Structure formats: C-alpha cells, structure tokens
C-alpha cells in the first residue's frame, strides 16, 4: 500500500490524528520507536467504537516496524508528520529520516515546538533540499480526533502538498460549518509562534475566569449551584466560549469519595507546560507589554508555592472580606470586568504577533488567525469573529482597542471593571489579571507617562541620555545633574 501521508509518534495525540486522517479518507502509515505501541494501536483498531474509527478507516492505516519500511510506503513527495516530544527528540527523528528521504519530501512537526527551533529547522532543512512545515495543533486529544485548530508555517511551497489533508481534518466553523480552522500562517516558525500566542491567551483567559470565580465566591458567597447558573448565563452572551462552558460544567460535578463538590477538593496549585512562559519571555525580548498573560504565568507560579503560602497565611494580615453591596450588581460587574480584561488580553496578544512579524519578516494575516481559533481549540469563542471583523475593516490596525467595536465595549464595561478592581483591592482578594489589564488600558490611553522622570534618573546615575519634547525625536541630551542642582 502506498500511503498519502505518514505519522511518527503514537502517543494519544498522534493516535487520534491518525484516526482523524483515516476517517477523512486518506491512507496513512504509522511508525513508533516502540514497536509494541504501534502493534497494539493498529491491532486494536477494529475494536474501537464507530464514532472513533469510521467504517473502512482501519483499512487505510498501515503500521511499520522500521523507518525504512515506513518511508518506502509513502507516496512521493513523501509527507511525514512528527508527533513526538518537543526539543531534542524532534531533531533526533529528523536526523534519522533525512538519509531515507529525497529532496522535495516534506517533514511536518506537529508538536508544541519552540518557534526558535522551528526557525532553525526551517533553514537547515531548506539548505539540505527538504521541505518543512512547523504547525501548531490545538484542541487536545478530542480536537485531534474530531477536528483541531491547525496553524501551519514554514516553507510555503510545501503547503499545496498538505493543504487538502490538514484542512479536511481541522475543525469547521461558519453558518454552514464549512470554513476550516486551518490556513497558511507564514514563513519559518510563524505557525508555532501563533500557537504559542494562542496558548498564552489561553493562560490569560483561564486566569481571568478563575479570578471571577474567586471574587464571586468570597465577596458574595456564591455557592457552586449559583456559580453554575451564573456561568450558564454568561455562556449565552458575549462571553460564550469553550472555557466558560467547561467552567459552568465543573461546578456540577461531585466527588464520589467525599460527597462534596469536586472542585472544592482539588489542591490549589496550578501546573504549566511552558508555552505561556515562552510568550512572556519573548515579549520581554521584543519590548512589548504583554502584561496580563505574564501575570497569569506568575499567578501559576505563586499557586505552586503552596507550603509557603500556608505558612504566610498564619503570619501576614489583610482586610477581612466584609462586602455588603448588591450581590446581583456585583456579579454583573464581574461579568463586565471579565469581558473587558479579555479584550485587553487579545489586544496584547496581537500586538506581540505584529512585533514578532516585524522581527522575523513574517507576513501574518491577523484576521485569518482569528478564524483559525474559532473552532477546535481551547480559546474558541464567538468573540473571535469580532476580531476578524476588526481586521477586515483595517488590516494594519495598530491595536484592537482602537477598533470601534472594541472601544465601545470597553467604554460600556469600564465603570464596572473599575469597581471590581477596587473591590478586590479593598477586600484583600488577589486579582492580578483584572488589575494588570486595567493598568495596561490606563497606560495605553495616556499620552504622557512618568517615564520622563525614570529617564532623568537613568541619565543622573548612568549618563544614559534622554530625548526632549521640544526637540526632534532621536536627538539625545545629557545633563550633569549634580552640578546643576539648585538646592
């Protein structure tokens, strides 16, 4: 059998992508470093339920014990998708593949790669005559099987050879559910960069939702039943999204062992895989203020210091929560604060995308990227269509907050947003996402910030110079501050 495509790496994501590809009529060869894993997967296909393996799909999947047999089973140009752990394992697989492939064959890295690695691999493989695609795949195990969001980048001449396959297996959106959440993103590491930004926004969204939950629980004493109803209502409005939906459902699940609600039995320490941190780190490299997502990363770090927090809670004091406002009004204020902060999060994400595009010479279509996230991925929401509309109106929009829709939404939510942030501070409840978003908004809308004093300080102690408001930009000055002192 000559396969349309091959896949290496049969962990759960890899297996589900294989099934998705076969379910859409494509023949696929599979290889895994551990042969037993491959044999167990291929041998068990006929026992899988029909909603997982469609009729006839098992016959389109072939398993191979050696890379040589695997590569020989593929149609030319050979298309090989790698789904192994990011980093050195990907390089090792590529090195094993290269002697078996021919110039013009296509290697696809579908893992959570660091975009810098993708940039490097893109250059190295082009120099050796191979075509390379680094693609983000979002949606977890279920998305991989039923339709993920796919963000491909790399060598554009490879795109026509994989377009039909990737678009057919991706999630679909639109009135007729026929718009694929997969399209070409850009050169070299652009696809993995967009996936990284997606994951960073995911960090921000999750942190904001958690802060909303925390404030409702501690300020107005909302029960899990009430929280379910609140998030149910929110999911029927402008906040409709996958994350609001699953949060709603979480409040309904009880623990069989204790009989209590399961969410209340979970230890308050959040883990992370690193992509949110990568985004924050590169924001610093680019000099762009991706503050909300960075605060979301730090919030996970602080949650991880559980033992230290328990010790501190016995020593450090703060105000007792004594909120006596209208519970219904406060809940609606939190809804608006969540929405406004979410707008800021996406605005910051797109500013960073634009800065990265300038840095690496990528030609990104910001509206198209919003559509890639409309389905299949963790941050999918109806709100993303509003982002697409904003970039349709002005492709070179400097900041989403300047779009009429976003400006109007912020204006409407702003009083509630400020009340929520003030209440959180007054009651001693941490809300780093809400407050970081509001601080960014207030800083961005000011034509003058206190950095003039900061620059004077730098010039005083380090002769770093400064610019003047009454002179052309770029012209620098230095003052001998000690000898100019008048007191």
Catalytic-role residue among 55, 68, 202, 471: 202
Tokens of 107: 């290697």
> From CA 11, how far away is CA 38, in angstroms rounded?
10
At 2 the pLDDT is: 94
At 220 the pLDDT is: 97
> From CA 345, how far away is CA 30, in angstroms rounded?
39
At 431 the pLDDT is: 98
- What are the b/e assignments for 283-299, b being 16+ CB within 10 Å? beebebbbbbbbbbbeb
Question: Which of 134, 4, 146 minimizes the C-alpha distance to 79?
Answer: 4
Bond preceding residue 77 cis, omega within 30 of 0: yes
Mean pLDDT of 86-114: 96
Lowest-confidence segment of 5-9, 50-54, 325-329 by average pLDDT: 50-54
At 314 the pLDDT is: 97
Whether residue 202 lies in the annotated active site: yes
Tens-place pLDDT, residues 263-277: 999 999 998 877 788
Contacts with 248 (C-beta within 8 Å, 6 or more apart), sequence order: 228, 231, 232, 234, 235
At 378 the pLDDT is: 87
Tokens of 441: 């908004």
At 486 the pLDDT is: 77
At 440 the pLDDT is: 98
At 92 the pLDDT is: 97
Mean pLDDT of 67-90: 96
At 136 the pLDDT is: 94
Averaged pLDDT score across all residues of the chain: 95
> From CA 282, how far away is CA 267, in angstroms rounded?
30
At 476 the pLDDT is: 97
User: At 46, is the pLDDT very low, low, confident or very high (cuts 50, 70, 90)?
Assistant: confident
Lowest-confidence segment of 48-52, 72-76, 201-205, 293-297 by average pLDDT: 48-52
In percent, the amount of the chain with pLDDT more than 70 equals 100
At 135 the pLDDT is: 96
Question: Which of 111, 136, 139, 137 minimizes the C-alpha distance to 378?
Answer: 139
Contacts with 439 (C-beta within 8 Å, 6 or more apart), sequence order: 291
C-beta separation of 106 from 161 below 8 A: yes
Whether residue 195 lies in the annotated active site: yes
Tens-place pLDDT, residues 14-33: 999 999 999 999 999 999 99
Catalytic-role residue among 187, 195, 238, 277: 195
> From CA 18, how far away is CA 5, in angstroms rounded?
10
Tens-place pLDDT, residues 103-137: 999 999 999 999 999 999 999 999 999 999 999 99
Mean pLDDT of 423-441: 97
Q: Report the largest interatomic distance among the alpha carbons of the chain, rounded to a whole angstrom.
A: 89
At 239 the pLDDT is: 95
Alpha carbon separation from 325 to 155, 295, 390, 420, 423 (Å, rounded): 58, 28, 37, 12, 10
Beta strands 79-82 and 61-64 are unpaired
Checking if the pLDDT of 140 tops 90, the result is: no
Tokens of 278: 């990568």
Provide the 10 A C-beta neighbour count for residue 162: 22
Whether the CA torsion 330, 333, 335, 337 is positive or negative: it is: negative
pTM, rounded to two decimals? 0.94
Tens-place pLDDT, residues 219-230: 999 999 999 999
């Amino acid at each position: 059998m000559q396969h349309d495509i091959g896949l290496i790496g049969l962990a759960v994501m890899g297996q589900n992508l294989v099934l998705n590809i076969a379910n859409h009529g494509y023949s696929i060869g599979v290889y895994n470093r551990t042969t037993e894993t491959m044999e167990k997967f291929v041998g068990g296909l006929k026992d899988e339920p029909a909603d997982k393996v469609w009729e006839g799909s098992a016959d389109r999947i072939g398993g191979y014990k050696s890379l040589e047999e695997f590569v020989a089973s593929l149609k030319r140009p050979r298309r090989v998708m790698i789904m192994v752990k990011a980093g050195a394992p990907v390089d090792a697989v590529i090195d094993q593949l290269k002697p078996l492939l021919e110039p013009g064959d296509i290697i696809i890295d579908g893992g959570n790669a660091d975009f810098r690695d993708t940039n490097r691999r893109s250059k190295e493989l082009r120099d050796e005559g191979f075509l390379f695609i680094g693609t983000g795949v979002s949606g977890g195990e279920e998305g991989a099987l039923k339709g993920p969001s796919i963000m491909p980048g790399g060598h554009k001449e490879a795109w026509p050879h994989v377009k039909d396959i990737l678009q057919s297996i991706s999630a679909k959106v639109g009135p007729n559910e026929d718009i694929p959440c997969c399209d070409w993103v850009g050169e070299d590491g652009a696809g993995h960069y967009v996936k990284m930004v997606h994951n960073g926004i995911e960090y921000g969204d999750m942190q904001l939702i958690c802060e909303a939950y925390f404030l409702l629980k501690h300020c107005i004493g909302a029960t899990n039943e009430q929280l379910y109803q609140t998030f149910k209502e929110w999911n029927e409005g402008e906040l409709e999204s996958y994350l609001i939906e699953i949060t709603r459902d979480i409040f309904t699940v009880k623990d069989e062992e204790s009989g209590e609600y399961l969410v209340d039995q979970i230890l308050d320490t959040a883990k992370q895989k690193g992509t949110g941190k990568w985004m924050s780190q590169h924001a610093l490299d680019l000099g762009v203020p991706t503050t909300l997502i960075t605060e979301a990363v730090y919030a996970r770090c602080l949650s991880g210091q559980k033992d230290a927090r328990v010790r501190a809670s016995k020593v450090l004091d703060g105000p007792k929560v004594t909120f006596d406002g209208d519970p219904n009004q406060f809940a609606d204020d939190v809804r608006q604060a969540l929405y406004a902060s979410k707008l800021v999060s996406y605005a910051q994400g797109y500013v960073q995308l634009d800065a990265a595009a300038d840095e690496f010479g990528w030609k990104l279509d910001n509206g198209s990227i919003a559509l890639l996230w409309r389905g299949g991925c963790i941050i999918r929401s109806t709100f993303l269509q509003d982002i697409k509309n904003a970039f349709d109106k002005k492709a070179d929009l400097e900041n989403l907050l300047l779009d009429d829709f976003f400006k109007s939404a912020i204006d409407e939510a702003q009083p509630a947003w400020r009340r929520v942030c003030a209440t959180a501070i007054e009651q001693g409840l941490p809300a780093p996402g809400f407050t970081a978003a509001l601080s960014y908004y207030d800083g961005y809308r000011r034509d003058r910030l206190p950095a003039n004093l900061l620059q004077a300080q730098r010039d005083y102690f380090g002769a770093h110079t400064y610019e003047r408001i009454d002179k052309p930009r770029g012209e620098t000055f230095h003052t001998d501050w000690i000898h100019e002192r008048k007191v």
